[in-house]
């Protein structure tokens, strides 16, 4: 029999945005592959094999690759009793299976979750985060990360980012070498080849914006779910404020290494200050997150 839903508060807004994003990304994917097939008619088996293979690799292995890239090392309860104890409490509160637990040796105070499902989930905290946060603050952060697992938005983000990655690769290849050098410009097939870089760039831009919009909302959703589950929005707000303040003290070189994984992290390595930068950010602003937690705290106190 299927397991009952966890006690994390459901978020219809998040579900609706995930479904919409997946539909639009899927539509883009069909158009994108269709253009490739039309332009490279004799190579359609290769195109299908490559695109299908990349999709499978992205879905099945991207979480492991991301965890490896961020230095996650799985730990036992004997190696990290306090971290395991905190996650055990959250699992009991949420009535959800326990994920794998990991620690990343990094002074950058952060946490992240990866995994296609609750069965393959991994929750990781950095040594910098564990050293800086009080127990109730750490519980809030980890409850935030585990809400990503139970809401399955980690898997959706992994799938949603695939087409953008593929389109970006093709765009770069086209800029380096060009698709149409081997065909005359007045050949219809040659014209289609010339359109591939343009279509790839458009697809990349659209998928980039879609994933950024979803990413910002899912962070607010995770904050809200964690605050309601633990009943302590002030602890999560304190963790956000503390981690954000500590980021300014981390060497820029270390932040640059963490920046490629911003979409996974509790807080981005660099926060956008300008309005244009915020539009492309993976996370909402600190002010937005604290304001939401303040409203939740007021509602709970009633």
* Segment holding 123, helix H or strand E: strand 122-126
265 φ/ψ angles, rounded to the nearest 5 degrees? -80, 160
- Which listed residue (145, 253, 259, 274) is catalytic? 145
| 82 close to 135: Cβ distance less than 8 angstroms | yes
Spatial separation of the C-alpha atoms in residues 35 and 92, rounded to whole Å: 50
Does 145 qualify as catalytic in the annotation? Answer: yes
The token pair that represents 121 in the structure block: 């989930």
Instruction: Rounding to the nearest 10 degrees, give the CA dihedral for residues 91, 97, 99, 101.
Output: 50
Contacts of 51 (CB under 8 A, 6+ apart): 33, 36, 166
Annotated binding residues for Zn(2+), written as ranges, equal 144, 148, 219
Spatial separation of the C-alpha atoms in residues 269 and 108, rounded to whole Å: 8
Spatial separation of the C-alpha atoms in residues 140 and 90, rounded to whole Å: 9
Strand, coil or helix: what is 286? helix
User: Would you call 212 exposed, middle or buried from its count of C-beta atoms within 10 A (0-12, 13-18, 19+)?
Assistant: middle
**Residues labelled catalytic:** 145
């Amino acid at each position: 029999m299927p397991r009952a839903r966890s006690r994390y508060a459901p978020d219809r807004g998040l579900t609706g945005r995930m479904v919409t994003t997946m539909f639009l990304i899927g539509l883009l994917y069909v158009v994108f592959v269709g253009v490739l097939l039309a332009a490279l008619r004799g190579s359609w088996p290769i195109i299908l094999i490559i695109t299908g293979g990349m999709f499978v690799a992205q879905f099945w292995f991207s979480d492991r690759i991301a965890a490896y890239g961020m230095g996650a090392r799985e730990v036992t309860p004997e190696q990290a009793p306090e971290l395991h104890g905190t996650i055990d409490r959250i699992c009991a509160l949420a009535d959800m299976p326990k994920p794998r637990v990991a620690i990343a040796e990094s002074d950058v105070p952060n946490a992240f979750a990866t995994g296609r499902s609750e069965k393959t989930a991994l929750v990781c905290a950095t040594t910098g985060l564990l050293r800086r946060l009080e127990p109730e603050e750490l519980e809030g952060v980890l409850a935030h990360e585990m809400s990503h697992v139970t809401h399955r938005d980690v898997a959706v983000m992994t799938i949603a980012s695939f087409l953008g990655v593929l389109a970006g690769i093709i765009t770069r290849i086209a800029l380096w070498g060009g698709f149409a050098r081997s065909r005359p410009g007045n050949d219809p097939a040659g014209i289609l080849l010339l359109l591939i870089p343009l279509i790839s760039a458009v697809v990349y831009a659209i998928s980039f914006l879609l994933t950024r919009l979803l990413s910002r909302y899912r962070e607010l959703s995770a904050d809200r779910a964690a605050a309601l589950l633990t009943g302590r929005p002030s602890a999560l707000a304190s963790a956000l404020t503390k981690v954000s303040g500590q980021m300014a003290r981390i060497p820029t070189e270390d932040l640059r290494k963490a920046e490629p994984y911003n979409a996974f992290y509790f807080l981005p390595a660099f926060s956008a200050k300008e309005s244009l930068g915020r539009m492309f950010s993976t996370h909402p602003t600190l002010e937005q997150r604290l304001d939401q937690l303040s409203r939740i705290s007021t509602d709970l106190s009633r």
